[in-house]
Amino acid sequence: MPRIFASIAALFRSPVAPGVALLAATAAALILANGPLAVGFRQSWDMHLVVAVDGHGVDKSLGHWISDGLMAIFFFVVGLELKREILVGHLSSARRAALPIVAACGGMIAPALIFAAINLGQDGVPRAWGVPIATDIAFAIGVLSLLGTAIPVSLRIFLVALAIADDVGAVLVIALFYTDGIAWPQLAGGGAALALSLALNRSGVRWPLPYALLGIVMWVLFLESGIHATIAGVLLALTIPTASTIDTRAFAQSTRALIDRFADAGENEPHIMTNDERQGAVHRIERHCERVR
């Protein structure tokens, strides 16, 4: 029994765990949607969940809580990763940062043009062109994780940046072409919460509670304004202060020790690729550097 628990724990720590969970959930959803429980499964998405305080709150269906709530958390997480890459990573130069933005624009414009060309002259096409521009980047990132470390880090970062740009573009399209009216007071309130979160960052506040509370307020206000609430997750992530949790002195000492180990291994083999001790030192140095970033 302990071996089973150890195997399960190892699976959850594995980089492929999100992809496995995603495929398992997808398979379960397909079975439920096409099996004997299909009617109940569809009706469950319409069940309402109310979160209220003193008569004021949010009343949404289960489907809306997932698309507006859980997806906002997803975009908050990828927004944090994106911010790190913009500051010190693969997107730190303007040229590299522009590539996923251009790709996201192309990924929205090209499907809309193809859809309009195929369905030209049919009823409803003028307003339906926005349907094919949606891209399930969240699913793509989950599937990509199945490959683990076999894919370049730059490819994952590219997809994360593409997801953010695609989501912002979709929000703009919905707001400009498919929203009957935007509640400007709520939108202004969400902007004020964003400005306050940014001010806390600039003031050096590192305590997470104020950011969490402002994030909830921002999410509710964006939701009530008519703007897709996932954008609140992205904007909040950009205001979160960046701080390294690595012990720089310990990092320098351990890295020097590994470099000394690399040097002391000698040239026992004709090529570094066949020197197991040197290869081990190189891999450990790589892991040390990844934790610093």
Q: Across-strand partners of 57?
A: 52
pTM listed for this prediction: 0.73
CA distances 227 to 59, 171, 188, Å, are 16, 7, 12
pLDDT score, position 1: 45
**Both tokens of residue 215?**
């994030």
pLDDT tens string, the chain, 293 residues long: the values are: 455 555 555 555 666 777 788 888 889 989 998 989 889 888 888 898 888 777 677 888 888 888 888 888 988 988 888 888 888 777 878 888 888 889 889 988 898 888 888 887 777 666 677 778 877 777 777 777 777 767 777 787 888 788 778 877 877 787 777 776 788 899 999 999 999 999 999 998 888 899 999 999 999 999 888 888 888 998 999 999 876 566 677 777 888 887 878 777 766 555 555 567 777 777 787 777 766 65
211, 193 Cβ separation under 8 angstroms = no
Rg of the chain over Cα atoms, rounded to whole angstroms, equals 24
pLDDT score, position 17: 76
**Both tokens of residue 45?**
């998405």
Cα distance between residue 203 and residue 210, in whole Å: 13
Cα distance between residue 199 and residue 189, in whole Å: 15
Cα distance between residue 82 and residue 201, in whole Å: 17
